[in-house]
Every structure is written in C-alpha cells, then in structure tokens.
Structure 1
Amino acid sequence: MKLYIRVYHLSGTLGWTTLDNTAVSKKIKRHSYEHVGKADVDKMCSLAQNMHQWRMLNYAGVVPGSQEAYELLKKGLVKPKNPLTPPLIYGVRCINFEPPNFTLEVHCVNESYTFLRDFIYKIGVSLRSSAYCSKIRRIRYGPICLEHALVADEWNLKKVCASIKQCNKLLLRKKEQSMKDKNFVSEELDPAAFEKLKTT
C-alpha cells in the first residue's frame, strides 16, 4: 500500500453543534463564537499539527526528540512504516476566516471523511465554541492535483482515457522516486509498465 499525502480544503462554521458534524444533519446546540479570532484558529492549528508530528515520529519507529528523529527529519517528509496507522496530519493552516465561516488547508494520510469532519468539530471545541464541517474539497492526491481533474463537460471516453494515462505516469514516477527513500512505504515498481508509459 502506498501512502500518498492528500490535501484538503475543509470549510467549517462556528457556533453550532450538529449530530454528525455536517451541515445537513440536525443542529442540536448553539454556542457563542464572537470571542474567536483568526489568531486563535491559527494557534489551534499549530497545536494540532505539532501533536500529529509527534505521533508521526512514533509511527516511524523513532523516539521523538532523539538524534535519530533529528536525522530523519533532516531528510524531509517522514511517513510511517506501517500503512495501517491512524490518520496523521502533516500540516494544517487557516486560509480563510470570515466568522462564523472559516477554511482550513489540511495535509494528511490515512484520513477518512469522518475524521476530517470530527477534526473541524474538535477545532471548534478547542476554541471554546463549536463547529461543524460544511464542505470537504480534496485538492491534491499525491502527485495528482486539480489541474489533472476533468470537469463534467469533459467526461467522454477519449478524455477519460487520456486522463487515466496521464495520472498513471505521474503515479509511476512518484513510486520510482519514493523507492530511493527508505522512509516512504512503497510498492514494487513494474519496470516494463513504467517504460511502456514513458513511450506512449
């Protein structure tokens, strides 16, 4: 299994608790949010990121704060050796704050939509308020970005096949690069398949 970093834009709304932390479920409790500023959201994002970075080193099999951890971090992004670890956040920042609405950019692995919705709720609670997730938008999956996506008007056989071929090339290149880094969990790369894609 390959651990690709996924990037999301999570939109949240302060001031309400809902049954499942989504905008479509029943609102069950109202909270004040007038005391919350962007600096408060930034602080909570930083704390959450630091907590997950500590876990990341544990899952990578090193002791946080050790020389081994320092050497590992110098090499760049550290991924867990076991692809079945709980969700991990590599980066989170507030990119928009217009109370009661805000948007976070989250870089993570092993996430689920439930985890992302609950993360917005926990940010709200940590701000002495509450929040629910109003929108989840994935903007990157490993090397595949929004620029590689097809809009509905482009959904035809020719363009879908071309898009699959382009994305396969990107993924195979990423696998080839990751095989050089022992901290990445990588699959065996099929050289014949890679050469075939390079020539098409």
Structure 2
Amino acid sequence: MAGDRASKLLALSGLFPVYKAKGPTSAQVLSELKGKLLRGIWLKEYVKKRKQTLKIGHGGTLDSSASGVLVVGIGDGTKMLSTMLSGSKKYTTVGELGKATDTLDASGTVTEEKSYDHITKEDLESVLKMFTGDIMQVPPLYSALKKDGKRLSSLLREGAEVEAKPARPVTVYSLSVSAFQPPLFTLDVECGGGFYVRSLVSDIGKSLSTCASVKELTRTKQGPFTLEEHALREGSWDIDTVAQTLQEYTSLLPAEPSAKRLKTLDNDQNRSDHLSEYV
C-alpha cells in the first residue's frame, strides 16, 4: 500500500496553487505541504530501489506577513516555475499613511511618522499614474534578494550592514484605489515579475509628502491561478486531491516549452532555493 502511494506521489507532475496563510514563510508552507504528501510513505527507501527523485518547489516567495496564492511545481512541473516567477501577478494591499517601518510593512519597527491630513483620495489617485507602466523600482532591504549567497533580510537580522540594491525595471499593468479611509487605503495591483508591493506603497507615501507602509497584503492571482477559484486549502493537501487538481488545471497552463528550453529551466531551478528534493 505504501509502495503504491509512493509510486503515485512520484508520478505527480505539473503546477498547482495552494493557499498560504499569513504567518509562515513560503518555505515553511512548502515544507508542510511535503510533509502531508509524504505522510505514511517510506519514500527514501522506495526511491533508492527505483532511482527516482521527488522534486517539488514554489514559484515565487510570498512574504511571511502576506497571504494568498502560492504556485507549487511538482515533478516536471518544477521546470515551469520560472514562468511563474516572471509572469503576471495580482495583489490587494492595505497601506497605512503617515507611518514608515524598516521592513516597509507592519512586521517591522516604526522608523518615521508624518502627518497625512492633507491627503485626499484624488491626490492618491493622481500619483498612481507615476507608478503605472514600465517603471524603475528599488527593492526593499528586507527581501529574499541575496548578497554573497545570503538573503538580505537574514543579513540585516544578523546585524550586518547592507546596501540597497540599485533600481531595476519592473512593470505595473494596472493600479487602482478601491478604498480610502485615512490613514488606510486599499490598492488593487497587477504587476510583472520582480515587483515589490512594499516598495510601491512606500514610494507612494513619499510622493504624497508623507510616508506609508503596507498593513496587509494578499496575492489574489499568480499566472492563471486565482485565490478564490483555484488555491488548495491545507485540508486538501493530499496525494489524491493534488493528482485530480493537476489534471483539471492542465488546460490553464501555457504550452510546454521546447526540450532545449526545458533543459535551461531545469538547470535554473536546480540552482534555485525554491526547489527542494527528497533523494
């Protein structure tokens, strides 16, 4: 029975989205998912005989203080995770005017407070034009970006001095205000890869002659997967449900890349900390 389940697990291949709750890191969510899929299976002994490997990873870090869609690749699906990293994403974020933090969100230490009484909804909507389209953005210091192989956020927490990364080109496809109740405001954002909503909210605050930070952040869509329609909740993290989900969602995915492209993506993923393996 365990052998049959191990065989079924190793046969899983494709992309599927899970719901990441606020609190755990993306890596911790992936670890919890793997633990549930491996429950009752002596996989290490099984793969030694079959010389197979379980590959599983996620397609883009979601902040621990954020919630929403986290796309998971399993089997050959890990070769497609690069398309999730670079592809379109949608977020809903609640920003707070008049308060800046070192992490640019509510998880950090307050570094500055300023008046925001002068700001109207019209003012906010007006500055959003500056942040739509192809723009330059400086990533947050507290981020998953790396220096000498270590994440900037880890270096900062260890007390190391870290220089800000240079501004880089990013794309914002759409940006709108859905609520304005000072000091809080809610934005709906659709963006491309490498974009940081925390930097956006901070930059918006500066453009309004105040400061701002993210209070809440939810990823509502990544690639073709939406939070409401597709994301598997923790209670559904089992082999049979994942197998059925992979089959149902195949039609949502783009055509598979060429063999040469697959090899390149596979090499990229083997170097990525988004990919974990059981051998």
The answer to whether the aligner puts 1:129 opposite 2:210 as a matched pair is yes
Give the letter aligned to residue 243 of structure 2: C
Alignment correspondent of 1:101: 184
How many Å separate the matches in 2 of 1:106 and 1:40? Answer: 18
CA RMSD for the aligned pairs? 2.4
Opposite residue 162 of structure 1, the aligned amino acid is: Q
Q: Provide TM-score, normalisation by structure 2.
A: 0.47
Distance between the aligned counterparts of 2:134 and 2:102, measured in 1?
30
Q: 1:169 aligns with which of 207, 231, 251?
A: 251
Within 1, Cα distance between the matches of 2:216 and 2:238? 27
In the TM superposition, 1:141-156 aligns within 5 A as: 141-146=222-227, 147-156=229-238
Aligned residues: 145
Structure whose residues are more often strand by fraction: 2
**Secondary structure of residue in 1 paired with 2:129:** helix
Contact 1:93 1:105 in 2 (8 A): yes
- Cα shift at 1:128: 1.1
Deviation at 1:24, TM superposition (A): 1.3
| 1:46 and 1:93 in contact (8 A); partners too | no
Could you state the TM-score of these two structures normalised by the residue count of structure 1? 0.64
User: Secondary structure of the equivalent of 1:87?
Assistant: strand
Q: Can you list the C-alpha shifts for 1:53-88, whole angstroms capped at 9, x where unaligned?
A: 478xxxxxxxxxxxxxxxxxxxxxxxxxxxxx7321
Deviation per residue, 1:145-193 (Å, 9 max, x gap): 1211112232232222222333333113xx48xxxxxxxxxx339xxxx
Distance in 1 between the 2:199 and 2:135 partners?
Answer: 20
**Which structure 1 segments of 5+ residues have no match?**
56-84, 177-186, 190-200
C-alpha separation between the residues in 2 aligned to 1:110 and 1:4? 6
1:116 aligns with 2:197: yes
Corresponding residue number in structure 1 for 2:258: 188
Which protein has the bigger helix share? 1
> Percent of aligned positions with the same letter in both sequences?
28
How many Å apart are 1:13 and its aligned residue? 0.7
Shift of 1:44: 1.2
What residue is the counterpart of 1:140 in the other structure? 221
Which residue matches 1:46? 129
Q: Indicate the SS of the match to 2:169.
A: coil
Higher relative contact order (CA 8 A, sep 6+): 1
Q: Give 4+ residue runs of structure 1 displaced > 3 Å after superposition.
A: none
Return the alpha-carbon distance in structure 1 between the equivalents of residues 96 and 135 of structure 2. Answer: 28
